[in-house]
Every structure is written in C-alpha cells, then in structure tokens.
Structure 1
Amino acid sequence: MTPADWIDTAAVPPRALPDTVVAALAYLSEALGHAVYAHWTLARIKRRYGSLAEAKAAQPVVLKLLLAHDGAVEYWERGRLRTVSANQAPSPQTVLARLLHTHRRRFRSGASYGKEAAVPAAAQATGPAAPSSWLATHGPAELAWLARAGRFAQPHAAANTLGAADDAQALALFLRERAGRSPHTLRAYGAELRRLMRWCGARQLGPLSDLKRQQLLAYRHALQHGEGHTTGARPPRSEATRTRALAVVASCYRYWYDTGYLHANPAAGLSAGSRARAGFAPTRLLPPALLAACDAWLDAPEPDVANTLTAQRRRAIWALYRYAGVRLAELAWSAETGLPRLEAEAPGRWTLYVCGKGRKPRAIPLPTPCVAVLRAYRCARGLPTEPPVHEALPVIHGHKGEALQSAGLYREVKAIFAAVADGLQAREPAQALLLRAASPHWLRHAYARTLVVDHQVPLPAAQALLGRASVQTTAAYARTDLSQLRTFVEQTFAGPLQYED
C-alpha cells in the first residue's frame, strides 16, 4: 500500500496521507507534534543552521556523527527520538510503517476505514472496544432484553441529543463517556448494571428505561436488606459498597435524562451520595518517612542504571504521581483528548493538563522538584527540555509502543514500592509490609493530605487540584490527623478565660 491509502481519522474532515513517503513523514511530524525522520549531511546542516558553531549548539549528537560518517539520521521509535549514522538507520518506509502501526487507532487503511464508514450510525453507537466488549459478554436473551425502549424513553424525539434508539445503545454510550477511560471503572460499572438487570429479570421487569420510581426504590430496599441471592447476584456486604452500587444506577439514569434519552428521571434521589462523601475517611495513607525513603531510593539508583532511559522514566512516573496527585488512569495517554499534556508558561513554570472523571479537564501546576525530574527525562528521550506550545506527545513513553498505559504505570510504581520494601525488610518489617500493600492511588491520598493537613491549603483550592466533585471528600483528610485540631484548641484556649461581672 502507498501512503495515500492511509486515512488520518483525527483530521476534520478525515484526509488521506500524501502520496510519497517523504511527504507522508513530514505530515506525520506536523500531526503528531514531534520530529519523526530527518536525514542529515554536512551540506544540509550548514544550510539549516548557517555555521558549524550554531549546528553544534543545536544538534551536538548529529554533528558528532557527521564528523565520522557521510550522513546521520534522526528517527522516532518507541517514544523517543533516536540518532544514528545513516548506514545503521532504518529506511524511511520502515519508520513510516512503524508509526502507522503505533498510531493505528488514528491512522487507518482506506479499506478498513471504508468498512467502518459503511456501518450504520446506530451500530457505531456501541462506542469503543471496551464498552462494546462489555455488551458482548451478554447472551442473546439479555441483549434482546436491552434492545428495547420503555415508557420513559423518547428515542425519536428532537430532544434526544444522545441519538440512541434503545437501551442497549444508550447504555453503551453511557459506559463510553463515564467509564471508557479506565478498565477498572468499566468493570465496576458493568457489575452494578448487571446486578440491576438480573434483579429485573427475576421479577419480569424492564427494560431499564421502563422502570418506575417505586420499582427502583424496591431495588434499593433489596440491596439494603441483603436480598439478592435468589437472583444469582450477590448483594453488597458493606454500606459503602451498597452506596456505590446505587450511585452507578443513579448516574446512568441522570445521564440518560440530561442527554434527552429519557423524558423523566425515575432514579432522582435514589443514591445518598452526599452522605457517603460526608462519611469518607481515607485510610490508605503512607507516612512521610516512607515517602522520603522512596524519594531517596530513586535519587540514588545503582551506578549501572543511573542514567538510562528506563531509570529516568521511572523517576518521571514517580514524580508525577507524587507531586501532582493524579489518578492512575489520568496519566495514561489518550489520542482522542490529547491528554495528559505538559505546558510551560515560563521557564520552570510547568502545568500538567489531565482528563479527570466525567471527562473534565484539569490543570495542575507542577512544583520545582517535579519539573527537574521531567526535564532530565525529556533530555533522555531526545526531546526539548521545555515542552513546546501545543505539544501532542505522550508524557510517558512505552518501550513497546507509543505510550505507557495504566497497567504499565501501575507496575512501575509497584516496583518502586517493592524495591524500597526489600531494603526495609530486615529492620522494619511492618513498614515493608505496608509498602508492599500500597498502590499508586496511595500517592494521591498522600498528596491530598500534604495539601490539607500539612500546609492547610484552602479546601476549594485543594478540591480543584484533586479534581474532586465534593469539597466534603477533600475535607475528610483533615479528620485523619488530630495534631492540627489539637493546635487549634491550644491556641484558642492558651490564656486564662476572662469573665465580666
């Protein structure tokens, strides 16, 4: 296939790549926001920079290779810009093929894109692979039960901005928007929706858009009183789990109502989400001493791996979770949103932009220690030390692909915890056990506690940095530490009380 046989589906409207390999590589460089292939000779580098002195300052590695070889090639591979002599470099066709494979969700062959375009819009409403695969786990009877519209649905009304014709399509769109970024969230949402479907099936109710408020209240009563074994759905054991189960159901109906698929919301007030947030108390917290031990371990790696790209990447991952308080999935690259993304408003003043829950973008200023680590990591990747404006590039690269996703990010942080725990095992076994149980989300709790408890950051500001929906959840971190409350009490009643006659 020629480059022109490939379609850039992210362009509006979608467009074919240029005819030649060189032009296609230039197009990819502009579309992806970074260099992908450049063949340098002494004559070309002189024309580009005017003098060898300027070329040495701008391209020291390239000029060093040109002094010993006839040509040098810069090419993009596995998340970094590599520079080798021309006789060792892959061909432009090979680089182009690798890039198209890496970004296969964006760049599609003309044949496959034509087949997708031929699928009716209603069939495409099942969304990306994750929500579609969840629907595919249901049998024919369950799918037939879902592929209907009940009394509250308005599938053909002008107010139905969702464009769904039945519950199956509406449910897939809900899962794609609210749970599509995280397989863990998708699994949890799917389990709760399946629990409701089984409860309805045992009572010959449904579809979901046909349930009345009294029926949903009966479902809530069944959850609260442990009624569910007869339906094959195990009832939630704890109050928090029951609250989350109802919250998923309420969120689905609210989404359908807000987008116009339903003309009424029978699940309004079904979930006591505010009371659950008020009772939230973070327990998965790492003591500051253990965080400092992890920082020290990363600052003093083994000599043979101190400057490798792998070590720099691990430091960058740790710094972002440690100093930005992001959720695990928020650091995973999404080509659809172009997030997460780094921007430098001024030298040393960097901001991390992420896509949070509900697809809400969030800006997080990064402190100086984090910026220093990210600079070193970008240099190891062959990138500019300061991120250019509108850089469309994964923040964390993957060795086998373009970006490291949630599973890889999780393994990297767990590896840090395990390595530090090995060093503490002999003298502090209890602390080592705590580290082995920790996960990246514990660093988010530590970030929140540092803001709220250690530095008394105003709750609205901490809430904005954490991307939380409720300020009550953010305030819960203050309840985990009595020392601050004790200080307030001591300062309030430090002197003798004065009574007037």
Structure 2
Amino acid sequence: MARPARIAAGAAAGSGAGGIVGRAAAPDLLQAVEDWQAWLRSEKRASPHTLAAYTGDFDAFLAFLAGHLGGAPSLADLAALRAADFRAWLARRAGQGLAKSSTARALSTVRGFFRWSARRGLMENPILATVRTPKLDRPVPKALTAADARDAVETVGELADEPWIALRDTAVLLLLYGAGLRISEALGLSAGEAPGPGQQALTVLGKGRKQRRVPLLAAIPEAVAAYRAACPWPLPAEAPLFRAKRGGALSPREVQRRVQLLRDRLGLPESATPHALRHSFATHLLGAGGDLRAIQELLGHASLSTTQRYTAVDGRRLLEVYEAAHPRARD
C-alpha cells in the first residue's frame, strides 16, 4: 500500500481548550483533534487536568510524526501508519528516559483518538491494535524492619484518646502484621468470626471470596479478647467486630490515619502503611527461611508469581538459606 504524500506545509496552529500553538498537524487533522477535545469535554466530561494530559500526550505524538514522516501529518497519514512507525515512537520515548507508565498512558491516549476517529468515519488504522503496551514494572513491596513493625504494634495504642480504642488499634495491627491479613479482611471480620482465647487459626474470606486458614500468634486472640471486653458497643455475632468511635464499622481510612500518626511518632518512612505491615509479615517469614509456597497460602495470593516479588526484598537472606541448606553449596 502506497504511503500518502507528506504535507509540506508548516504546522498549523491549534485552537480550543488545551490546544497548543504550532501543533504539528495538517488542517483536517487539526479540526479532528479539536472536535475530539470538544467531545472529551462535553460527552466524557473530562476534567481540565485530564484534558490537558490527553492533549499533551497527543501533541507530543504529532510532533514525533512530523519529524518521522517529514511533514505535518494528516488523517490519511495516521490511517497509513505501520506497526514500525508506532514502535519508532515508543522507542523514541524510551530513549528520552520517559517512564513506562507515562508511555502507557500516552499510547492509551493515541488509541482513544483513533477509536473516536473510526467511530466517526474520519479514519481507521487496525494496525494500532497490534502494538503492545509497554510492560510496567511491578513495584517491589516495601516492608518495615522487624523492629519498626514491632514498635508500630506496641505504640499505636498510645495514639488513642480512649482505652478501648487503644486496644482496638493494637488488635487490628496485630492481625495485619501477625497474621498477614489485608486491611479489608481484618475489618471485614464479624464479631462471630473473631478469634477467641487459645484459638490457633482463623478462617479468612479473601479476594474473590476465597477462604484460607491462617495460623495465629497467641498474642492475637488475646488482643482481640481484650478489645471485645472493653468495647462499649454491643457486638452481636453478625455485626462488624471492629467499631469506630461512634459505634459504626471501623473504616480503612481511620486505620490509615493511625498509621500516618505512627510514622510521625516513630520516624517511619513514607512507605509505612497498613498494607506495608502485611508485606512485612511475608518478608520477615521469608527472611527466617519460610517456604515461598506456604507464604503464598498464608497471604491468599492466587499466583505464586505475586508472592515471588518478596524474593527481591530479601534476596540476601535467601542466598544465606541456600548456602546453608543446598548440598552443592557446601562443596
């Protein structure tokens, strides 16, 4: 298929909200972009911030094409782009050191314009559907040190203005760090599901309504029992176990605020969150030589690959375990 002739005219000026003077596009494409922006504002009700982000992404794409194709691109030029052209754009962004997340967003923006144009019969390019989105790097979980995690659990009660709330917060953080529960799992417990004195395991309803059995440190049912005894609100079996100050269900946001106060009190890093306590549970088990598949079961991960991210956190300890246990390591 022959490529359309390049438009040698200089880039026309963009107009409308979010337009950039000197946008590198032929008149027909300029008009289409302005109509797309108007649709985003009126039909999609995009916020000014979102519209500015989309516009910046698409203008950068057009600027690349102007240099890549040798002139201001038209709608026909966009329809004739090949996979190699899109890959060249992605390679340019990578060469500029732009984050993969930023490039993934820019590619999503370009796809959005192409879909909009196809629905209106302006132009269509099925090749874009074959271009793969850059694979984003999954963040490595950030765990607290064992000392910081212990201090968080032991200190959180000092932030409360009522004794029963101090006992509640201690019990919640113990479930996150001592049993590896998600915050939604801990706060989703009913009073009837609460572990009692001497109980050694707890059945948890996790993501996808999948149940798992987690062992309990002796301190956890003891802390829950102390909280229940002090709680001023009735705790019937079917009602939420953990209550807010006025008797309603305790919200994740309140637990997050408590941990934020702990960061200030103990000088913990910004990465110290309720979820970081769950990460710490897994990382510290792994560091002590815990089996990865066992930790997967304890955390309720559907895939071992999710749990394997913890190997990047404590790789040094894994090497020590390997050197101590593997027969060939002692040769």
| TM-score tier (shorter) | 0.5 to 0.7
For the Cα contact (< 8 Å) 2:260–2:273, is it kept in 1?
yes
Match of 2:221 in 1: 371
1:443 and 2:287 are equivalent in the alignment: no
For the Cα contact (< 8 Å) 1:331–1:406, is it kept in 2?
no
The C-alpha deviation readout for 1:325-374, integer Å capped at 9, x for no partner, is 3455x3696xxxxx4556649852433334x4xxx234453614323222
For 1:462, which of 287, 295, 319 is the aligned residue? Answer: 295
Q: 1:346 to 1:412 in 2, by over 3 A?
A: closer
The AA in structure 1 aligned to 2:317 is S
Q: 1:456 to 1:493 in 2, by over 3 A?
A: same
Partners of 1:382 and 1:352 lie apart in 2 by 25
Query: What is the identity percentage for the equivalent residue pairs of Structure 1 and Structure 2?
Result: 21
TM-aligned CA deviation for residue 221 of structure 1 = 6.0
Summarize the alignment of residues 132-211 of structure 1 with structure 2, pairs less than 5 Å apart: 141-144=39-42, 146=44, 195=53, 199=57
1:411 and 2:269 are equivalent in the alignment: no
Partners of 2:150 and 2:134 lie apart in 1 by 39
The C-alpha deviation readout for 1:144-197, integer Å capped at 9, x for no partner, is 5659xxxxxxxxxxxxxxxxxxxx9xxxxxxxxxxxxxxxxxx9xxx9998568
Match of 2:154 in 1: 296
- Aligned residue for 2:306, secondary structure, equals helix
The AA in structure 1 aligned to 2:228 is R
Count of residue correspondences: 261
For 2:132, which of 262, 270, 278 is the aligned residue? Answer: 270
For the Cα contact (< 8 Å) 1:246–1:271, is it kept in 2?
no
For the Cα contact (< 8 Å) 2:323–2:329, is it kept in 1?
no
For 2:304, which of 471, 480, 486 is the aligned residue? Answer: 471
Unaligned runs of 5+ in 2: 1-36, 63-72, 113-125
- Aligned residue for 2:250, secondary structure, equals coil
Q: 1:196 to 1:418 in 2, by over 3 A?
A: same
- Aligned residue for 2:308, secondary structure, equals helix
Q: 1:197 to 1:496 in 2, by over 3 A?
A: closer
Q: 1:236 to 1:352 in 2, by over 3 A?
A: farther
TM-aligned CA deviation for residue 142 of structure 1 = 0.9
Match of 2:204 in 1: 352
Partners of 1:225 and 1:382 lie apart in 2 by 62
TM-aligned CA deviation for residue 308 of structure 1 = 1.7
Partners of 2:50 and 2:86 lie apart in 1 by 12
TM-aligned CA deviation for residue 487 of structure 1 = 3.2
The AA in structure 2 aligned to 1:351 is T
TM-aligned CA deviation for residue 286 of structure 1 = 1.4
Partners of 1:372 and 1:193 lie apart in 2 by 53
For the Cα contact (< 8 Å) 1:332–1:340, is it kept in 2?
yes
Q: 1:468 to 1:226 in 2, by over 3 A?
A: farther
Q: 1:417 to 1:371 in 2, by over 3 A?
A: farther
For 1:309, which of 164, 167, 170 is the aligned residue? Answer: 164
Summarize the alignment of residues 386-401 of structure 1 with structure 2, pairs less than 5 Å apart: 388=237, 391=238, 393-399=239-245
For the Cα contact (< 8 Å) 2:170–2:223, is it kept in 1?
yes
Partners of 1:244 and 1:378 lie apart in 2 by 48
Q: 1:491 to 1:367 in 2, by over 3 A?
A: closer
Q: 1:272 to 1:223 in 2, by over 3 A?
A: closer
Q: 1:281 to 1:416 in 2, by over 3 A?
A: closer
The AA in structure 2 aligned to 1:476 is R
Q: 1:454 to 1:247 in 2, by over 3 A?
A: farther
TM-aligned CA deviation for residue 457 of structure 1 = 2.8
Partners of 2:167 and 2:251 lie apart in 1 by 17
1:323 and 2:175 are equivalent in the alignment: no
TM-aligned CA deviation for residue 290 of structure 1 = 1.9
Partners of 2:175 and 2:103 lie apart in 1 by 31
For the Cα contact (< 8 Å) 1:332–1:403, is it kept in 2?
no
After superposition, the CA RMSD in angstroms is 5.1
For the Cα contact (< 8 Å) 2:86–2:128, is it kept in 1?
no
Partners of 1:452 and 1:361 lie apart in 2 by 26
Unaligned runs of 5+ in 1: 1-138, 148-167, 169-186, 228-234, 253-263, 334-338, 422-431
For the Cα contact (< 8 Å) 1:318–1:413, is it kept in 2?
no
Partners of 1:439 and 1:454 lie apart in 2 by 22
Q: 1:492 to 1:313 in 2, by over 3 A?
A: closer
TM-score (norm: length of structure 1): 0.40
TM-aligned CA deviation for residue 311 of structure 1 = 0.9
For the Cα contact (< 8 Å) 1:317–1:413, is it kept in 2?
no
Partners of 2:170 and 2:83 lie apart in 1 by 48
For 2:209, which of 353, 361, 382 is the aligned residue? Answer: 361
Match of 1:453 in 2: 287
For the Cα contact (< 8 Å) 2:93–2:103, is it kept in 1?
no
- Aligned residue for 2:204, secondary structure, equals strand
The C-alpha deviation readout for 1:23-53, integer Å capped at 9, x for no partner, is xxxxxxxxxxxxxxxxxxxxxxxxxxxxxxx
The AA in structure 1 aligned to 2:132 is L
Q: 1:402 to 1:366 in 2, by over 3 A?
A: farther
Normalized per residue, the structure richer in strand is 1
Q: 1:465 to 1:492 in 2, by over 3 A?
A: closer
Q: 1:483 to 1:143 in 2, by over 3 A?
A: same
Partners of 1:363 and 1:376 lie apart in 2 by 26
Match of 1:488 in 2: 322
